[in-house]
Amino acid sequence: MALSLDPEIAQALAPMAGAMADATPPAVGDIAARRAMWEPIIGAAGTAQPIPDDVKTSEHHTTADDGARITMRWYTKDGAAPGPAVLFFHGGGYIFGHIDLFDGPVSRYVSASGVPMLSVEYRRAPEHPFPAPLEDAYSALRWLHAHAAELGVDRDRIGVMGDSAGGGMAAGLTILARERGGPKVARQILIMPMLDDRTTTPDPHIAPYLLWSYDDSLTAWPALLGEAAGGPGVPATAAPARLEDATGHRPAAGLHRGRPARRLPRRRRRLRHQTQPRRRAGRIPPAPRCPTRVRLHRLHLRRRPPRHHRPHPRPHIHLSRHRARSPHATGGVCRRSTQVARTPLPAATESLGHRHEHTEAPRGRAGIPLRAACALTAGRLPDSMRAARHLILT
């Protein structure tokens, strides 16, 4: 099966791909070379968009159980009302990255959503292997709960969020908090999370399009877990895809490999592989391979009313392309006083592909646009925080 990169996604990834084009891929196990290559790229991506001036930051510190001092940065939007908050963990495969590199993305998340965030400078592997990074995250969660009143935060509405390794950290922290009986985590917001240490066999269909390669995973997981990586004894707090019992687990929503992620089950059941969620009735359908050419039968288009509810005279179903492109059209359906016009599939597909002004992007149940579900870079996720606010505030 031949795959191709969607032009819209290719355009978004072009700056990062261009920065990596002249770089020689580091060998498996070369952590210093990966830090030298990736951190400038992440920094450039973080500053590609303007940093909002309505967000203020302050530095805080806490101490882990082993005595390590942890730096945390608190982001708040001017005039934001007290309420929910998010504990944020940056990406970097557990081996590189720090909070300064993600200052721009976190500021934009806070400015767009109005939800304050606490970004955590957790310790990195291999200098500090598991469980040190997770214990740093747990100490930060306890600190946020302890200082919730003075920060204007509702303890019952604290969520955890992260991208890549930070997404795996957020999921592992939720499991750890459940095992230890608290503090409470209200929601998980996971962006392309790093969940499974067993994905070591390259997939030839997607390997040519990867920015984070299989060699990178073969370097990062052993740095975090040592010789246990890929073996049977890895706990779910280190690799959350190994979780067997999700009883009492908090809901998770996020973006993973270009499709909206389903919520983790609340009742006792065996989890399927996270990258291949089961299709269920009523769930958000996976994003199509070409998001600008959505399948119209999956959209909730307006249907004709039952026969006994139809107005008189009976509406005329008009299938011409002219009516479909009228200024009264919405989502491929043209509604007038006594006439209902429906767009033929080729015309509607063309209108969505060319972004006519009357066409709205389809959205899933969580409010995540399907097109945004495929935007994986730090500067291409403005709509993800709209979903984050929806998930936290409800």
Query: CATH number, domain at 244?
Result: 3.40.50.1820
201-230 pLDDT, tens digit per residue, is 899 888 888 889 999 999 999 999 999 999
Upper half-sphere CA count for residue 253 (Cβ side, 13 Å): 21
Q: Do 240 and 224 fall within a single domain?
A: yes
Q: List, for residues 253-290, the tens digit of each pLDDT value.
A: 655 443 334 444 443 444 344 444 444 444 444 444 44
pTM of the entire structure? 0.66
Per DSSP, the three-state class of 337 is: coil
Query: Structurally, how many domains does the chain consist of?
Result: 2
pLDDT for 349 equals: 35
Whether residue 35 sits in one domain with residue 15? yes
Domain of 326?
296-353
360 in any annotated domain:
no
| 16 found inside a domain | yes
| 361 domain-assigned | no
The pLDDT of residue 14 is 79
- For residues 190 and 312, state if they share a domain: no
The pLDDT of residue 175: 96
Q: In what order do the strands lie in the sheet with 339-342?
A: 316-318, 339-342, 333-335, 329-330
Average confidence (pLDDT) per 10 residues, the chain, 394 residues = 82 76 88 95 89 97 96 96 96 97 97 97 98 98 97 97 97 96 95 94 87 94 97 96 86 53 41 42 46 38 50 47 42 38 38 39 40 36 45 42
Cα separation, 193 vs 236, in Å, equals 14
The Cα-based distances of 165 to 83, 134, 168, 253, 262 in angstroms read 27, 11, 5, 16, 19
Q: Are residues 345 and 257 in the same domain?
A: no
Are residues 240 and 311 part of one domain? no
End-to-end alpha carbon distance in the chain: 41
Is residue 302 a part of any domain in this protein?
Answer: yes
Residue 257 and residue 300 share a domain: no
Helix then strand then coil, % of the chain, to nearest 5? 35, 15, 50
- Residue 42 shares a structural domain with residue 164: yes
Structural domain includes residue 142: yes
